[in-house]
Structure 1
């Protein structure tokens, strides 16, 4: 292990991501902030991202910058339009002043979108009922699909105008592109259904639309990454084998500078990504009856509990590292220097963390001050009671940060 560690890159040293040089290899993963009540940047949102930037991360990720009004999981989320640019510029300037880079997570929520809150029709591969919104998503037509691809390109151009250093395309969690990839959800019989090659057309088309947009308007100054499900954790959903094939295609297409590996379904099995305690009671309390009662009675089926351990997505991620040459970002259970170093020895170029930085925005500075002694432990208890706070004001209920 000592020789492997000596040969691996230092996670806290500068690293290149496409055209960028980040001050280290640690990325704050996208986590919806619930700090944009009018779908625009607020001082509260800026402070939320300024904290981990000042706390030492190489890059923070703003979530969620939907590509259209109907692509949001809720009506308070930012959607990329000219009106949003001045606030986004204030945000990127504040992060740059702390020495960090900043990425915009762009995407379309598809069947996860809350049509009632958005006051806009949701899209899905087929007509699909969202129990949170109590609305049906419509089956996307070819014109809808073309519009979604164009909207991603437009969002990327606006990200360039806003001073972002990178965009992360959301291809996971059964959002629209992921829903098309899923054989369980995508029951279409046209050119976007059936074979994996057909089901992957939206994801691949979106990535290349974004790449063309940033090459034209970003003059190569902005990195393009994507978040891709390795598995949905659902019988009949996306499997590791199919995800590996999709990842190879994305690599061969040449549209990405790095790929972040994720898992789970926001629709059916969210805890497959989060691991640890399932906060059913707290989650139910967010909603009004009768949905509250339904979650209390059946929530353990929706929020299945998986035991937590450090680097819990590494087993599947190793398969992608063995097959792919492109830079990969390891997510899931990265909370300390030991798990970061493990990722480096396993050949991953970057690590991403969310809950640990929610609990302690200055965690990276603490780890850096500790050196390689591995004595710094995260305050995150993996209770996941932060999850329901994304509907009101995202924060850690244990430490109170970033409050």
Structure 2
């Protein structure tokens, strides 16, 4: 098969994207009152005007307790009208739009959410200073049903796709992790048991969009290839899980990610570890703790282009389903490499935060290089209003 042009149209399940570039989910912190704001709409409209094939709204929690913090958007009837304004604005710019749906699990800040967090086992979150409840069977069934409801709300709001969050040790990912999931019941122990939550969620979402969305909505998932910590999700186990998800038939594509929001976030981001800036985002004593031990939590992984490609190749070799390559996609050369390696789509986050019109720039000049410096100071900006500290974008096309 000839290598596709990354800027050519492509099918994602039932949806046709104008090109093969996707803005990866990047928490925006632009949802006061847990509802869509004009600021959030403009954030995504600018990226859509900048040329991406599809932008991803992050993070659309499936319940109040599934949010990472109390201002986060959660999918409910009151949110649909605002989400419809958002999807209309994106479509007007010629792009598609996906809703990332999920439950934060042990990552959820129960104190900020004013709602009980869930985890595979009783788990202490130092940011929220609260324990997450060990999820029982009713809790698990409830979360699966909430994902289906969230997909239906996304369909009502005009989304072209939903992305199910199965990564970064959020709830489904924490069940997959042998480091976190120390259960001995039907949801613990073997990988087959630990994968039940993720597989159940995907199939419930697929059934929901087939019935409610008329089969016109794509379903993707973000899956950890590795947690990057000893005892966590490994490449071998993740590949087995991916094969099961493929065989289940619930997904139109899989986005490959890595790292843990709980224990090793820099394994995903690479580049500079902004420990000082993270400490400045919190009040004492949390800020003191981050300054003293932040380097152990935020480990140093030098940046390079396509830094997840080596692991992702293993998945490409074993899977037939469409795959989305994430991690260090900033220029045309790397995009073309991904296409030549057999990946159907590329996903970008920080590079589009720095330059929302990067895709248009690359289309006009293939030698374009991203303005992103990989300083990662955008990471702690999520506690105020996510933005690039180098360019100030994305507030307007520059």
Q: TM-score range by the shorter chain?
A: over 0.9
- Asked if residue 177 in structure 1 is aligned to residue 194 in structure 2, the reply is no
Q: How many residues align?
A: 395
Q: Which of the residues 296, 302, 305 maps onto 2:297?
A: 302
TM superposition score normalised by structure 2 = 0.99
Q: In structure 1, what is the equivalent of residue 136 of structure 2? A: 141
Q: In structure 2, what is the equivalent of residue 99 of structure 1? A: 94
Q: In structure 2, what is the equivalent of residue 70 of structure 1? A: 65
Q: In structure 1, what is the equivalent of residue 375 of structure 2? A: 383
Q: In structure 2, what is the equivalent of residue 37 of structure 1? A: 32
CA distance in 2, matches of 1:391, 1:249: 36
1:168-210: CA deviation from partner (whole Å, max 9, x where unpaired) = 0000000000000000000000000000000000000000000
Q: Which of the residues 255, 263, 266 maps onto 1:268?
A: 263
CA distance in 1, matches of 2:171, 2:304: 30
**3-state DSSP of counterpart to 1:38:** helix
Runs of at least 4 residues of structure 1 off by over 6 A?
A: none
CA distance in 1, matches of 2:304, 2:63: 37
Q: In structure 2, what is the equivalent of residue 320 of structure 1? A: 315
**3-state DSSP of counterpart to 1:185:** coil
Q: In structure 1, what is the equivalent of residue 241 of structure 2? A: 246
1:96-147: CA deviation from partner (whole Å, max 9, x where unpaired) = 0000000000000000000000000000000001111111101000000000
1:8-61: CA deviation from partner (whole Å, max 9, x where unpaired) = 000000000000000000000000101011100000000000011000000000
Q: What is the CA-CA distance between 1:357 and the residue it aligns to?
A: 0.2
Q: In structure 2, what is the equivalent of residue 11 of structure 1? A: 6
- Asked if residue 222 in structure 1 is aligned to residue 214 in structure 2, the reply is no
CA distance in 2, matches of 1:219, 1:311: 36
CA distance in 1, matches of 2:198, 2:245: 9
Q: In structure 1, what is the equivalent of residue 163 of structure 2? A: 168
Residue ranges of structure 1 left out of the alignment (5+ in a row): none
TM superposition score normalised by structure 1 = 0.98
1:141-174: CA deviation from partner (whole Å, max 9, x where unpaired) = 0000000000000000000000000000000000
CA distance in 2, matches of 1:193, 1:89: 39
**3-state DSSP of counterpart to 2:48:** helix
CA distance in 2, matches of 1:284, 1:344: 39
**3-state DSSP of counterpart to 1:352:** strand
**3-state DSSP of counterpart to 2:32:** coil
Q: What is the CA-CA distance between 1:236 and the residue it aligns to?
A: 0.2
CA distance in 2, matches of 1:130, 1:340: 38
CA distance in 2, matches of 1:27, 1:133: 32
Q: What is the CA-CA distance between 1:375 and the residue it aligns to?
A: 1.3
Residue ranges of structure 2 left out of the alignment (5+ in a row): none
Q: In structure 1, what is the equivalent of residue 286 of structure 2? A: 291
